[in-house]
Amino acid sequence: MPRSLESQPGFTPTGQDSPSTSQLVLVVDDSALDRRMATALLEKHTDLRLQTAVHGRDALAMIAREAPALVLTDLQMPEMDGLELVEAVRQQYPDVPVILMTANGSEDIAIQALQKGAASYVPKRKLAQELVGTVERLLLAAVVDRRRQRILSWMRNLDCYLELENDPEMVPLLVTHFQDHVLRMGLCDNNSKIRVGVALEEALLNAIYHGNLELNSELRHDGSDTFQRLADERRRQVPYMARRVHLHAKLTVDSATFVIRDEGGGFDVANLPDPTDPENLLKPTGRGILLIRLFMDEVHFNERGNEITLIRRRPIKSLESVR
């Protein structure tokens, strides 16, 4: 039976807009070296409280004493591995997102863990470049404005259309808005809400960066600031500055559908990564599309490649209870 975090010892409601000193991150890894590397990166670049565990059973015992805001775990560990930990956390603490640290040879398990409830992943060889950003995005995605929840619980359908400027900083706020609607309309639990948010955020950022601004994701991995510098420049240049992202969201008690279209040149959808192929986890490109296809029930592209449709259906048991 899932336990509400508000009833757990040591739980602090996360109503703020960004990670704070009250937020605890639990790092789980049987390798002392890897634990030190992950915690050192987070200590250097964030104000989070950090705890460590050496395997899944150790982690669950610590979570029972104080539920963290997020769990960061290795996959291959003794006693209880990362896959088993993901399943246990999802069942017992659905409000707590789990990030995987993936290494060569663990791709099969990582795919299973993402399918069973993990919210994201970071390759161990990319910890220095990607860990802090991924943790901060997931913590921000988990923030819920509790004062709005009663109003949202009354809603039975929502149909809206938005034209978005190419401003990545507005995306998390917009995603949180739709996450609240999806949760309160019973289309997911707290854990799944985070996964829906990750998919929606990735789709919107892809539309901005790779669609409207026509930036190649390879630029993110050369160790420089080229990607962000070009993004900032193109937001002020013709023809990029005039382009918009079009979002049509339709939510009912049965499903949530998000249609996102950019005004760029599109791409060849035949080259999309296969979300069931473990090798794609370690590739430098296609990470966003991979997560989108794993976390949504249906994903469709138009022929031009500049429009994506994301569909999340209400769980069958939940649907039966409504009817």
Domain spans of the chain?
5-141, 147-322
Q: Tokens 């599309």, residue?
A: 289
Segments of the chain with pLDDT less than 50:
1-21, 144-147, 319-320, 323
Nearest to 303 by CA among 271, 274, 249, 267: 267
Same CATH fold assignment for domains 5-141 and 147-322: no
Alpha carbon distance 203, 126 (integer Å):
22
Which pLDDT belongs to residue 47? 86
Dihedral pair phi/psi, residue 227, rounded to 5°: -60, -50
Which pLDDT belongs to residue 264? 96
CB atoms near residue 100 (< 10 Å) = 27
Which pLDDT belongs to residue 162? 97
Which pLDDT belongs to residue 285? 64
Which pLDDT belongs to residue 319? 47
Query: How far is the CA of 136 from the CAs of 5, 142, 171, in angstroms?
Result: 20, 10, 14
Nearest to 115 by CA among 49, 195, 35: 195
Give 24-51 pLDDT, tens digit per residue: 999 999 999 999 999 999 998 888 999 9
Alpha carbon distance 304, 270 (integer Å):
11
**Residue at 247: amino acid letter:** L
Q: Residues 25, 153: contact at Cβ < 8 Å?
A: no
Q: Residues 314, 257: contact at Cβ < 8 Å?
A: no
Alpha carbon distance 50, 94 (integer Å):
20
Which pLDDT belongs to residue 8? 39
Per-residue H/E/C for 193-239: HHHHHHHHHHHHHHHHHHHHCCCCHHHHHCCCCHHHHHHHHHCCCCC
Which pLDDT belongs to residue 173? 92
The verdict on domain 5-141 having CATH code 3.40.50.2300 is yes
The separation between CA 36 and the C-alpha centre of its own chain, rounded to angstroms, equals 24
Tell which CATH architecture fits domain 147-322.
2-Layer Sandwich (3.30)
* H or E element at residue 129: helix 127-141
